[in-house]
Structure 1
Amino acid sequence: MGIGTGIALVVIGAILAFAINVDVPAVDLTMIGYILMAAGAVVFLISLILMLRHRQVSSTTRSAVDPNSGERVTRRSTTDNDGPVL
């Protein structure tokens, strides 16, 4: 389930709550619409929080030969979503 699922649940719930005026015995479509909208909001928020917590780490190692001294130089760097970490 993702952000799209949450939005879809909110839209379907709003349609059931506000746009459909059908009288079905033993079923309250307005209440079902409100429940779907609440569930959609919860799914949307959980998906958003999980997406923001996802961290991607990238490590880079570069080796080169210094033209002046002939020594081998190695540079290592690690980056994540918060910025570079050395």
Structure 2
Amino acid sequence: MGYGAGGFLVVVGLILALAVNTSVSGIDLQTVGWIMTVVGVLLIALTAFTLNRGRGARSTSTVTHGDGTQTVRETRTDI
């Protein structure tokens, strides 16, 4: 799930909330549409937050030992 699923929920939710005039017994389509819209917006926001969370400064250092083996160390700093 991500931007595509969130966008889909927003579009379908807004169509149900604003453009559909049909009634279904026992279901309020406008309320379902607004719920889908809110869930879609939250999904987009959470996707943006989690994708940007992994970004930061990264540095790697390679140490060559006397026997010829190498050790690579990676350090991450969140900005």
TM-score, with length taken from structure 2: 0.70
- Stretches of structure 1 that go unaligned for 5 or more consecutive residues are 62-77
Identity across matched positions, percent: 38
- Stretches of structure 2 that go unaligned for 5 or more consecutive residues are 63-73
Task: State how 1:58-77 maps to structure 2 within 5 Å.
Answer: 59=60
The higher radius of gyration belongs to: 1
Q: What is the CA RMSD across the aligned residues, in angstroms?
A: 2.9
Partner of 1:43: 43
1-side partners of 2:14 and 2:77: how far apart?
Answer: 36
- Write out the 4+ residue segments of structure 1 that deviate beyond 6 Å after TM superposition: 78-82
2-side partners of 1:9 and 1:58: how far apart?
Answer: 39
- DSSP-derived class of the 1:44 partner: helix
For 2:44, give the aligned amino acid.
F
How far 1:59 moved relative to its partner?
A: 3.3
